[in-house]
Structure 1
């Protein structure tokens, strides 16, 4: 397993030096400043590679940009409206430019409008650590009473609607504003930042678009882009929905093992692969992460190893980002399945034996509280997670024990 670390670029408050001291082997990054649908130029790609290759004092870091997360699938492509054909052409050119620069793994997602959704970005735990949380009642309050989406109350259980109304009535103006900001929060340096009006406009454009249609558009996209990636030697990997259930009246099509199997079979080439995110998929109680790795592992090109603590047994429910070994996913069993897959690849003579993984998200602990980094991406919290995952990897792959065999 290739140990990588997500880096948002020069504005990231976690530096290349920090990554070096964490002992990572490669870097996951993206050109967030480039407008979605535009070509990633060779010059921009080379600039980011150069930034990763240098420490603060100019000394070589020895690190390389190994995984793109993400090269966005535009809203026009998802809806097959507007400039979607031009955006697909630009996507192909971006893949060619990335391949020419030696980058072989590209993560993307098909979530409409918002890449991920949380209601709290610094939820305090009993030990003083903070983390991201999705509170279903708070989200319903946002959807029904702040966004005022038509028909929103029909998408939640009756008891959730009632509790959301009571909670909203008791919220201060400051909390209502904070909740609205959190629900539409984006990545640092991103070219697009949504307001509530932007969200309403996008939702209107998706009106009437079913899950079946969105999945068909994804397959059309992969039918165009996948063969290009295959020829270039690029492995594309779709990130699951986060959270993995419908929100805002929008369809979700990559939330379960069945979803992934359908899309993998529809465009059945090695370049069409999976980002197995144990946190996103683990937010649903009916997703078996170790089993998914066993059954779909030959198409898993990238791993996000994180854990969540579900607060109910419902498919649509509240959860928070747990410690990497402390949530609902059996991380030991999952990593054992990954190591078995890597041995299969080695025996088959595959060149992509070592699957890149990163310790996705992390709780803010210790000095993380002073840095105020991107929510979910603290330095010490992720370092703790990486150390825990590294320990499991080392123990399971040790010749004395061989526990994963």
Structure 2
């Protein structure tokens, strides 16, 4: 990359890491109904009556979504639904959402789903803010630059654990050019995040843990970035320890698979699943605050490459890559891992992560997928790292190929 571009990127991250600490407002009431009613109040207060709802195809038939839709429509809001089952949002999907938004004169976007759905909604907002520019012209750092005209309100309501809920970043795939690129701009920071633990309670434990791992990865990458600050370090470190603490409770989650709470012999509540999910959601919010202000590293670059060449989901690939990258950092730059604190034992944490991957059965098993072009993937990762990524160190070609080989074995063999 040209030296000038590197300087511009550094200035961007310095500004966003040290100066811009704006966060989305959180809607987190006692239960889903109260949160939904508060959301409706906010929309009516801002004279919004036509809303584009972006969600997964699966969500449409879920009870909590049906109730939300009924409450919003009962309040006089007109909803226009775009439902799609996606692993990685593409330019084509974004343009469909933009068309639906304009053709129905919408004023707000409500994204209900995981990271891919939320990224799709953010990219849609970017195109609405700058209709004269294609997504390719908006890619990169600080390219959207919201004008003075009113931009649509963006509300995210995660149905998995994802840092995307509160970050100012979206990742979009262009299948024709075989690239996955970033939109990083405060203009697409969500205005509101609605936390409803009830939306996540029904998730299978494996999926809940898998998406938590994806969020854990983003917190680690923010912490180890060359472009961090005290604000980023605080949010990232807290998210890491809180997520690890929740994942430690595997047996408890197993016991809570069919019940929302455990009661002892004296009819006292031992554990409440919603409380654990709320802790994970708060951790995801912190990870999102750190992500985007710091840049990302090798794990995201590898996950992006496998999304482009194999359409694999981020969280599964990231879970496989995380311990391998941490081990590489520990061997090459041991002091790096002390950012978590002086009493932090890197080897214990890596062993803990490997244990969680086994106990939670976090696998990225795509044996049915034909072999991917690992040489091309390696080149993609190196080019990605050299563009806007900010890992704490540069791996040698041999070390990167060794890590990619291990990831390939764990996923495809």
State the TM-score, normalizing by the size of structure 1.
0.25
Indicate the structure with greater helix content. 2
